[in-house]
Structure 1
Amino acid sequence: MVSIAIMGHGVVGSGVAEILLTHKQKLFARLGEEIYIKKVLDLREFPDSPIADRFTKDFEEIINDLEIRVVVEVMGGLHPSYEFVSRCIKAGKSVVTSNKELVAAYGAELLALAKENNVNFLFEASVGGGIPIIRPMNQCLVANIVDEIAGILNGTTNFILTKMIEDGMQFADALKLAQELGFAEKDPTADIEGHDACRKICILASLAFGKHVYPDSVHTEGITKITLEDVKYAEKFGCVIKLIGRVKKLNNNKIDIITAPMLVPLKSQLANIDNEFNGIMVRGDCTGDVVFYGKGAGKLPTASAVVADIVDCCQHLKKRRFLFWTDGDGSNIINVSESVFAMYVRVKGRDAVVKAEGIFGSIQSLSTHGGDRAAFTTKAMTYSEFTEKINKLASDGVEILSTIRIGDL
């Protein structure tokens, strides 16, 4: 029997407990031992839980219990999660987490600490919820040199954009619906401003390229400025708008990483991933494009990934899984000004397209009617060159209403 503790009994934590209890026989057959929930840490009371007698409000009961070999952190946030996880690892306990904020902020440090103490720190559920991605990248795709990773990494924003695309809903109405259905939090800032997706692409980039990528090193944009006009123009261009986290390996051993809305061509495998679903494309030199698809959040999908890591830890109590990257200082990341994209631009002003042609050269107009509103796409250029040209267009009396990158996905 392997004793474990679960820190947090919210949506994911209760899902982990539920799977461990209802799938006990299946997990025993796989592991050859019972996984026993000895302690559950939460400040609330759950008298109706089948394991109500195992709840505690005192973390010290977990850290001081020598029988507890694996600790599951599903509290979320950075503090006290970081302090609790650090202490567990130092005490010789392996840790499993679904906390992308924790991994994105302290992943390199906690992996080094786990290596030093010969225990495991696993976090499959931190990216993509129930979609297997960390383990496949670390094991199944190990023979590949990863050239690029791009993904729809946030189900809330994907649901909102799907409603705008398919049902013609305004952004505010789609967000309200997402909140009513439980896809968006009461405070949706982390989702709609791109911070959640940024943390996830940072974790994937750290894993793929071996150096920790911190979220504050990544240019991040959300979807709050996307309008139905943008959606309709994107359709004319044969694209849909998605919030994309993308990292690309460059020839100089640096990486180009960004989180931002992008026009995704309909031919892309990411274009048809709708509603609350996530999709992650890994482009390897041997495999080509491999796409992972599924529910990126939710109680049981995320808990499923957590339980898989628990089983992995129980199978490797006396040896480490090789999952590691070193700390990074951002020197391997190019500045957003050097990043190269073709761009979509929506404008307002007399003779706007003619003026744009004079400044950008070859462009593709997306307008099908007259008036003072128009949209066009540019050829690929560095963002600094685009900024210089768009500022020149603005100084020529054209109002810039929207600019969105065009993803080569």
Structure 2
Amino acid sequence: MDKDINIGIFGLGTVGCGVVKILQDNADLIRKRLGFGINIKKVFSRTSKCKNLITNYIYAKDYKELFDDDIDIVLELIGGIDVARKFVCQAIDNKKNIVSANKALFANHGFEIFSKAAQNGVKIGFEASVAGGVPIIKVITRDLMANNIKSIKAIVNGTCNYILSQMFETHESFETILNKAIKEGYAERDPSFDIDGIDSAQKMAILASISFNAKVEEKDVHVEGIRDIDFIDIDFAQKLGYRVKLLGIANSKDNKLLVRVAPYFIEQDNILAKVDGVYNAISVISDMTGQTTYVGKGAGSLPTASSVVADIIDIAKDIESGTVKDTLSMRVFEKMEFVDIDSLESHFYIRFSVVDSVGVLSRIANVLSKYNISIKSVVQIGKGLDVVPLLVLTHKAKESNVKKAIREIEKNHQTIIKNGTVLIRVLD
């Protein structure tokens, strides 16, 4: 039997404890399938929910002990950027293979880390950084390697998908469902990272990078969240045959790249429209396979930990065969030009909050017409109230023109326009 592989773990939080559980509960299964075992050799963590569950390990007093010669793979499971970056770079300098679930780290410093890994002849596993238990990184970098990827459309934040799904099912407000999500553990006490689209943007930066061999960082992603979505929007969408989803979209054309995260109206028969609750879904469109879609739980201790363990096993097999190398060397990544989202053409849904009086629609329609924006359908909801929602669905228009029109309407017609206007794109 081949030599067992030793790992060191930095961080015993939710994911770290999930990794421990899988490696210990399924140790015999893993050994049987691999022909050798995966041993937790050393652990460093300031706090832990599962220290007492780990057997036959050494608790390190300093994370540098994880760089000892008898450790083959190091796990970075602490999250955040600064400390994680320092730790990972030092581990690579010490010729340690790395497995991490840290989306923020790779979305902001992935190129530095992969370049360093290539120089030091070690491998980075980061499957768990994007969609929890959905093995999308391996699909793109291995299974679709011979395909020219055209676009990625993805639901990559379970919290937002849960909120929008619950609003659709219960007809309750965004705030009501958000509070329920926090109580049930589907959202953090400070949910900003999720509902403002930041989490999705980090994941889309990683997906776009590996899909288009492009240098994409978090700052390159156009980001909008779901704070302004109301049940009115979801109800209107349903009546028109759509669902509202927070989508991450990346597409490339003529060596130009656009990566964005925003709410979208999606036709109800689209497979992404049918993915509800905390599930993630990634649709990849490529030249040879067409559209393939991957669905699964995008968060949680065990789904995410399962992806971490899968990376450990992949690297362990490479170590045993003596073929460890970084297949994502930065030498194959190109600096691409990014397209401004204002240049896009799309159908748009616009929700105005207007004074309920004669002539309001006419004044709004005149401004839209000025910017070559044609109205496909319009509905005013409510009667007898001081301010009512006016819902407009446009024909295809240029985004820059739509935004100019909204700004002019809000500036020049303050007597009839109240509150903030909501703009949602319609997915073609």
- TM normalised by structure 1 equals 0.94
Q: d(CA) in 2 for partners of 1:281 and 1:133? A: 10
Would you say the 8 A contact 2:153–2:247 is kept in 1?
A: yes
What's the CA shift string for 1:268-305, capped at 9, x where partnerless?
11001111111111111121111110100001000000
State the partner residue of 1:26.
29
Structure 1 residue 321: Cα displacement:
4.6
Task: Give, in angstroms, the shift of residue 329 of structure 1.
Answer: 9.2
Residues 1:54 and 2:58 aligned together: yes
- Identity of paired residues, percent? 34
Q: 1:220 to 1:59 in 2, by over 3 A?
A: same
Instruction: Tell me: CA distance 1:401–1:79, structure 2 relative to 1, closer, same or farther (3 Å).
Output: same
Letter in 2 for 1:61: E
Q: In the comparison of the two structures, how many residue pairs are matched?
A: 406
Q: Determine which of 368, 374, 384 is the counterpart of 1:362.
A: 374
Q: What is the alpha-carbon distance in structure 2 between the residues aligned to residue 235 and residue 247 of structure 1? A: 25
Distance 1:378 1:326 in 2: 44
Residue matched to 1:298: 300
Q: Which range moved further: 4-13 or 367-376?
A: 367-376
Question: By how many angstroms is 1:393 displaced?
Answer: 3.2
Instruction: Supply the distance in 2 between the matched residues of 1:196 and 1:345 (Cα, whole angstroms).
Output: 25
Instruction: Provide the secondary structure at the position in 1 that maps to 2:131.
Output: coil
Per the TM alignment, residue 381 of structure 1 is displaced from its structure 2 partner at its CA by 2.8
Counterparts of 1:344 and 1:16, CA distance in 2: 44
Counterpart residue identity of residue 115, structure 2 = A
Give the Cα–Cα distance (whole angstroms) in 2 for the partners of residues 192 and 57 of structure 1: 37
- Please say if residues 206 and 325 of structure 1, whose CA atoms lie closer than 8 Å, have aligned partners that are also in contact: no
Structure 1 residues 122 and 299: CA distance shift in structure 2, 3 A: same
For the 8 Å contact 2:351–2:423, the answer to whether it is kept is: yes
Paired residue secondary structure (1:40): strand
Which residues of 2 match residues 4-403 of structure 1 at below 5 A?
4-44=7-47, 48-51=52-55, 53-63=57-67, 65-250=68-253, 252-317=254-319, 318=322, 319-325=324-330, 332-347=337-352, 348-349=354-355, 350=357, 351-358=359-366, 359-360=368-369, 361-367=373-379, 371=383, 373-394=389-410, 395-396=412-413, 398-399=416-417, 401-403=421-423
Q: Greater CA deviation, 371-380 or 46-55? A: 46-55
Q: Which whole-Å CA distance do the structure 2 matches of 1:134 and 1:53 have between them?
A: 30
Alignment deviations for residues 25-84 of structure 1 (CA, whole Å, 9 cap, x no partner): 221123221111101110136552233752224112112x10101011111111211111
- The Cα of 1:366 is off from its aligned counterpart by 4.0
2:9/2:66 contact within 8 Å kept: no
Whole-Å separation in 2 of the counterparts to 1:172 and 1:329: 42
Q: Give unpaired runs (5+ residues) of structure 1.
A: none
**For residue 162 of structure 2, what is the amino acid of its counterpart?**
F
**Higher mean C-alpha deviation, range 347-356 or range 230-239:** 347-356
| 4+ runs deviating over 3 angstroms | 324-331, 349-358, 368-373
CA distance in 1, matches of 2:82, 2:56: 25
**Closer, same or farther in 2 for the Cα pair 1:53/1:309, shift >3 Å?**
closer
1:363 aligned partner, one-letter code: I
CA contact (8 A) 1:211 1:325 kept: no
Q: Report the Cα offset of residue 260 of structure 1.
A: 0.8
**CA contact 1:211–1:326 (8 Å) conserved in 2:** no
1:121, CA displacement in angstroms?
Answer: 0.7
Deviations 1:88-122 (A, max 9, x none): 11111100111101110111111111111111011
Q: 2:377 touches 2:394 (CA, 8 Å); kept in 1?
A: no
Segment drifting more, 351-360 vs 287-296: 351-360
Q: Which runs of 5+ in 2 are unaligned?
A: none
Rounded Cα–Cα distance in structure 2 between residues aligned with 1:144 and 1:355: 50
User: Contact 1:128/1:278 (CA < 8 Å) preserved in 2?
Assistant: yes
Deviation for aligned residue 1:325? 4.2
* Residues 187 and 368 of structure 1, relative CA distance in 2, 3 Å threshold: closer
How far does residue 217 in structure 1 lie from its aligned partner after superposition?
1.8
For 1:232, what is the secondary structure of its paired residue? helix
